[in-house]
Structure 1
Amino acid sequence: MKTDSQLNHSQNKFSSKKFPVTLVLDQISGEANIGSIFRLSDAFHVEEIIFCGIEPNLNSNRLKRTSRSTHEYVEFQFQEDSEKIIQQKKEEGYKIIALEITENSIPLQELQITPSEKIVLIAGHENFGISENILSFCDKVVHINMFGNNSSMNVAQSVGISLYEITKSLIP
């Protein structure tokens, strides 16, 4: 009986494809979350991460461990004003999508995206989410259906699930 052997990084079967997705992280401060989001951004080959409001501590050992060095080559920038960068991206033709549970949010799997669209995905602070003011700039607000007792999910996990669903839609 033949068994599968784990492949190393140089043996993987994946082709490189950059997706027209920009992450806007509004007020996210957890170093482990930021490191994980760097790693996810590399895995889903997003255009860039834009940190808003709170500048990440790239010297944090926790961030470095969780990012597994992806913070050294994933494109990112820091902008103080999230509203300004979201408005700029909207003017550049990006579809603005917030990841938040609201009265009018739709399940992530119902989000309609065409392969030609450019996407900004906004994730908010670990405890407070995305402000209502930022939500007012968005074309769509999506949530991830959950079936347990808790009403929220870790921000890095929710970004990972969202990037998976969004990039699936962007592959022609």
Structure 2
Amino acid sequence: MRKLRHDEIPRLAPDELAAVPRHPVVAVLDDIRSLYNVGAIFRTSDAARIEKLYLTGITPTPEHPGMHKTALGAQDLVPWERHRDPLPLVDRLRAAGYTLAVLEITDTPSHIADLDASHFPLCLIVGNEVHGVRDALVARADVALEIPQYGAKQSLNVAVAYGVAVFGLVERCRSLQGLPPHPDEPARLPDRMDA
């Protein structure tokens, strides 16, 4: 075993990325206050090759130069939109066929492994670092995804929790489609999970 050099790591070039289907997951980042968390989420979203990020509430946008320290260019690779109010946005996403999933601790938790093909395409909603996902979004959700935690603390940093969840969702999506979890094979994703 040896560590690969940067030029040996198989990755898509930015111009190739536009021609490759994205995984059928979008995310709503609502009221996330930290530039660093949002930048890290952009970088993770590029690595997971999800469809789009929606920045709502007070969530900062990539125009802020401070975000570039953690996004490291991913802000130019991941499609994103700005919406002040997340409620009409998630209603439109549901009407477009997305399952609404909050990443939150609730009284009816689900796990990513429990999702089936009918849950995709999926909209993952993450919330504020202190208050979590706002109640009005929890009330609209179809499912609440919870990350099992085995220590004393009750939550993870939002960018860390997002990373765990989005990679779990991509792995689950690929598994349901019979695609390998590793991107070595350039398999084509269907436009919809039921295709």
Q: TM-score, normalised by structure 1?
A: 0.89
| Partner in structure 2 of residue 145 of structure 1 | 148
Aligned equivalents of 2:63, 2:96: Cα separation in 1: 32
- The reply on whether 1:155 has 2:158 as its aligned counterpart is yes
Match of 2:10 among 9, 13, 16: 13
> What amino acid sits opposite 2:128 in the alignment?
H
Aligned equivalents of 1:129, 1:164: Cα separation in 2: 20
Q: 1:99 to 1:55 in 2, by over 3 A?
A: closer
**Offset of 1:17 from its aligned partner?**
4.9
- Structure 1 segments, 4+ long, off by >4 Å, are 14-17
Q: 1:127 to 1:60 in 2, by over 3 A?
A: same
Contact 2:55 2:61 in 1 (8 A): no
Contact 1:19 1:45 in 2 (8 A): yes
Number of aligned positions between the proteins = 168
Q: 1:72 to 1:53 in 2, by over 3 A?
A: same
Aligned equivalents of 1:116, 1:148: Cα separation in 2: 30
Contact 1:93 1:118 in 2 (8 A): yes
Q: Unaligned stretches of 5+ in structure 1? A: none
Match of 1:103 among 107, 121, 126: 107
**Offset of 1:72 from its aligned partner?**
1.9
User: Counting strand residues as a fraction of each chain, which structure ranks higher?
Assistant: 1
Aligned equivalents of 1:142, 1:124: Cα separation in 2: 13
Q: TM-score, normalised by structure 2?
A: 0.79
CA RMSD of aligned residues (A): 1.9
Contact 2:61 2:82 in 1 (8 A): no
- Equivalent positions of 1:8-157 (< 5 A) are 8=6, 10-13=7-10, 17-106=21-110, 108-114=111-117, 117-157=120-160
Aligned equivalents of 1:36, 1:116: Cα separation in 2: 26
Q: 1:12 to 1:120 in 2, by over 3 A?
A: same
Match of 1:4 among 2, 5, 17: 2
Contact 1:111 1:142 in 2 (8 A): no
- 3-state DSSP of counterpart to 2:129: coil
Q: Unaligned stretches of 5+ in structure 2? A: 13-19, 178-195
